[in-house]
A and B are shown apart, each in its own frame.
Chain A
């Protein structure tokens, strides 16, 4: 087992995981896929453990996905609805965390609009493990793990091989193209790091105002010609325009962005038949992707949502495990 395994640790950033640690999450998630196919979708591995789900920012799928994952592992879920909590009365994040921990919890799943919030919370808690479910424009590690898992399974299916036990072999050398608003995207940051860690070649493209000037620190390269890149990519990762983070002010209009960087029918034809197209959702049809393309068979958006549960089961299971005492699932 590698030193940078998720076992007994926090998941704040993809950087918390080594390549082996990353593969470990994917393998454990494969075993949970089977659980989700059973008629009784529940196993008792986290029975008696309490997981707090604290979402200080709007979220539908991530929250539901984490809470579903926790329940399938038989954990109790303590869910803070920010709109009706004392946060609205001016309570600080630190006080909220200390209050929640005083109730006796084993892990906190945190979504917050400020970058670094999960890091800070990990310093404020005494015992609880902290799982970053998206912090500002910093990272969204569980989403990147879902995307790698989904791509790995899709590639395995296309090649007629078993994804289980394949480690990172099906991702190594893959050409991954990430398109759109990189600057404001926590998904893009986690994806760049995760794909690079898995040995893929990561290239990013988008408007000059929305691609950071230093993507090499993420193990990525900047690309210039979208049509050429699309024809070569094994994985095309589309991102949502983060209008709530002001990305609309970085382009003249969403229409112009769509014209220059959106995947319309013509561009969709450039993408290879065996390529995999991902989108972390929610998709904005007509901006980053045209409505027809949104339903393209190469798109794995639905699989990404489905895979969210086993990946998050794996994350919670590993973070709440102790090295050497891993229960057989």
Chain B
């Protein structure tokens, strides 16, 4: 079933510039571009007056919890949250139960994704069961179209095994994404290690736990020549090391999460486990460094680390509560805010939320071998797959956890006034969100 849609009156955000133009979508692709296009007969009209039109967002880091964690989220509800947040593609983290470390589980998640509102690409586990002992069948999973592998939740602790995984992935042209925290340093910690954690009597996860593994893996990536992606980087020193490695030509990219550039460890002072996350919320110096880095274009991608949890996993003593917080429905606004709100550079905004993450996840080409996954993070040229988002950058709204599309409610931004809104989301030529409401 093909539908025709016209996006009227918006400002298109191209890879290097912006321009005023209408877009007509037909047969799932951008069919026409131009100023003042006539409305085709029977077309759906999306009003983009005063809004930016760009490639829909791509999240490198979403926990969709299925299979095994359906009390917190399902692929369907996570995908709905993504559409509401302006996303057309999500990389689903493999720390499900069972983990995505075999063809049947990966195929199951792909199938659930096909039935959802957007495109879901599972990440495969690097090691069997994410136990850090034995390599997962990356080659078999790659045959299903998986290109991004991680043991996220924990990092691969053993340096020898990580080196072997990088060599193996390189041979298959895959990217390894690492949750950088050395468990021998992070241990049982449940917040940033600092004067505040000492005062609260909470065991700390020190910055050095992250930085030591970032340093190690940058050297391993350089040594092996494999492609490495650093997940949820959270400290100034981690960012500096990644930039320095990139300058040396190491094939490394890095993401930051909105919570790491928005919230500080002070949020933990009231022992509310909503703010418990790994790596932990850091001090204001690190948060400021990430904001500056984001603004300066030093950070490749903004990723959510969307981590839904059922209430009973959070309504617990802080040290026993599950780590992680929601992100898909607030990431755009928080990134916009960090980049300057209404004054933000739209090119940079779409670069970090869409174009670069699409590139990192290998989602920039329409690839029939990959079960009809379409191309994301595109340049809006005629003939490209219509994965588009239309966003306002001036309206404000207050986060209410009961309004979230996600099944879970563990947002750390409850009651916060956010700038910007996702007006429409188009996934593979189909309008999935119109004026902030789902179309089905």
Contact = CB atoms under 8 A, between A and B. Distances in A.
A115 B201 contact: yes
A136 B201 contact: yes
B317 A93 contact: yes
Contacts of B198: 183, 212-214, 217
Interface stretch (A77-85, A116-124, A141-149, A278-286): A116-124
Contacts of B316: 92-94
B99 interface: no
A119 B320 contact: no
Contacts of B202: 115-116, 136-138
A139 B201 contact: yes
Contacts of B318: 114-116, 120
A314 to B, nearest CB: 24
A116 B315 CA distance: 12
A115 B195 contact: no
Interface string A104-139: 000000001011110110000000000000011111
Given A186-B201, A217-B199, A136 B315 contact: no
A116 to B, nearest CB: 3
Nearest to A189: B201
Interface residues of B, number: 18
A116 B199 contact: no
B218 to A, nearest CB: 27
B292 to A, nearest CB: 26
B427 to A, nearest CB: 39
Contacts of A120: 271-272, 317-318
Nearest to B194: A214
B32 interface: no
Contact of B195 (A93, A114, A183, A217): A217
- By CB atoms of chain B within 10 A, which of A93, A115, A139, A217 has the most? A115
Contacts of A218: 199
Interface string A200-232: 000000000000111001100000000000000
Contact of A94 (B194, B272, B315): B315
B415 to A, nearest CB: 15
A98 to B, nearest CB: 11
A136 B315 CA distance: 17
Contacts of B320: 114
B270 A119 contact: yes
A104 B82 CA distance: 45
Given A92-B312, A116-B201, A136 B271 contact: no
B200 A112 contact: no
Given A115-B202, A120-B317, 9 more contacts: A114-B317, A115-B201, A115-B318, A115-B319, A116-B201, A135-B201, A137-B201, A137-B203, A214-B194
Closest CB pairs A-B (n = 9): A138-B201, A116-B271, A114-B317, A115-B201, A137-B201, A214-B195, A212-B198, A119-B271, A116-B318
Interface of B: 194-195, 198-203, 270-272, 312, 315-320
10 contacts: A114-B317, A116-B202, A116-B318, A120-B271, A120-B318, A136-B202, A137-B203, A138-B202, A183-B198, A214-B195
